[in-house]
């Protein structure tokens, strides 16, 4: 298949994912995990080469919980390509496919993605709609035009409900949500300024990820700037004991000296050099797969 030089749309993602499954049926499986408000399918893809699948540590990768941050999806797809194409050819990749279970949810918010907007079809910011620290108090939170509107109550949306059900069925050691932009590695908590009991572990892993990313990525707690309730990261960590990271891939293209970028949010979030940016993030993601087998992580 020709390499993508343009950003994927919803149909192009489905067709690429189906092609990959057809080409590598012995290591790739696709599952439908739910539907969006507008009846678009939510898909999860699994890569694993071991028939004794339940023995292997699991890692979850997600993108497009915010429908405009398409570069996150491109990074995720690049990782899927790296694992499938490298299997049986590259020793390290073959090991990671055989000895880990990698799960991917490429599009958590397909309606937002189709409409090129952050929130879902009901104006809910899905990364504020999970249950840990969910807050609908305050006048702005009651207004669905507000940028971070969390929804009327926790898990009110079909998309977050489906993801919650899915993560309940699995025991993920680690997870990585791919967002953009600003070049940050984030870890819990988001809903409080407090540190988690795994703060030191988050810092150690985060620093290793930092070394594997090109450019100046900062390591920050999710709540470093302001407290955000109802995130997927706090849900995974607090309710499911998953060491969850959020990566703000790339620096985006918003530039004060380039007026052409001022009024096009798509450009703020999504760099022009897709392939380069996607590859820049792969080693950090592979690192998470690698350490998922470490005793101090899997037996926490």
Contacts with Zn ion, residue ranges (CB under 5 A)? 66, 69, 179
Q: Which is nearer to Zn ion, 119 or 179 (CB)?
A: 179
N- to C-terminal Cα distance for the chain? 41
- Smallest CA-to-CA distance from 118 within 280, 238, 268, 278 is with 268
Looking up tokens 């979030």, which residue turns up?
269
Q: CB under 8 Å to 51, separation ≥6 — which residues?
A: none
Q: Which is nearer to Zn ion, 62 or 280 (CB)?
A: 62
Tell me the closest approach of the beta carbon of residue 183 to Zn ion, in angstroms. 13
Tell me the closest approach of the beta carbon of residue 148 to Zn ion, in angstroms. 10
Tell me the closest approach of the beta carbon of residue 232 to Zn ion, in angstroms. 10
Token pair of 260 as six digits:
């052409």
Answer yes or no: are the C-beta atoms of 107 and 10 closer than 8 Å. Answer: yes
Tell me the closest approach of the beta carbon of residue 87 to Zn ion, in angstroms. 30
- Smallest CA-to-CA distance from 193 within 230, 221, 170, 213 is with 221
Tell me the closest approach of the beta carbon of residue 229 to Zn ion, in angstroms. 15
Q: Which is nearer to Zn ion, 242 or 250 (CB)?
A: 250
The rounded distance, in Å, linking the Cα atoms of 50 and 101 is 8
Q: Which is nearer to Zn ion, 95 or 148 (CB)?
A: 148
Residue 226 Cα distances to 151, 174, 190, 197, 229, angstroms: 19, 24, 8, 20, 10
Q: Which is nearer to Zn ion, 66 or 128 (CB)?
A: 66
């Amino acid at each position: 298949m020709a390499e993508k030089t343009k950003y994927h749309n919803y149909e192009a993602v489905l067709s690429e994912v189906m092609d990959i499954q057809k080409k590598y049926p012995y290591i790739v499986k696709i599952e439908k995990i739910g539907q969006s408000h507008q009846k678009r399918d939510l898909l999860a893809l699994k890569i694993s080469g071991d028939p004794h699948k339940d023995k292997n540590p699991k890692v979850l990768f997600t993108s497009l919980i915010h429908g405009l941050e398409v570069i996150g999806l491109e990074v995720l797809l690049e990782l899927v390509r790296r694992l499938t194409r490298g299997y049986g050819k590259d020793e390290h990749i073959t090991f990671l496919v055989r000895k880990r279970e990698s799960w991917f949810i490429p599009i958590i918010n397909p309606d937002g993605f189709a409409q090129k907007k952050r929130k879902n079809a009901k104006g809910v910011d899905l990364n504020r709609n999970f249950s840990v620290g969910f807050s609908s108090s305050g006048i702005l939170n009651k207004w669905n035009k507000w940028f971070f509107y969390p929804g009327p109550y926790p898990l009110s949306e079909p998309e977050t409900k489906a993801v919650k059900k899915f993560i309940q069925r699995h025991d993920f050691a680690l997870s990585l949500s791919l967002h953009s932009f600003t070049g940050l590695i984030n870890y819990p908590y988001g809903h409080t300024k407090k540190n988690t009991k795994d703060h030191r572990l988050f810092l150690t892993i985060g620093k290793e990820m930092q070394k594997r990313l090109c450019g100046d990525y900062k390591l920050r707690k999710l709540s470093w700037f302001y407290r955000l309730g109802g995130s997927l990261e706090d849900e995974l960590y607090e309710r499911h004991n998953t060491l969850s990271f959020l990566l703000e891939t790339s620096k985006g293209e918003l530039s004060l000296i380039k007026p052409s970028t001022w009024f096009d949010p798509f450009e703020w979030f999504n760099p022009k050099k897709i392939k380069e940016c996607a590859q820049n993030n792969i080693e950090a993601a592979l690192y998470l797969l690698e350490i998922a087998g470490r005793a101090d992580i899997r037996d926490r």
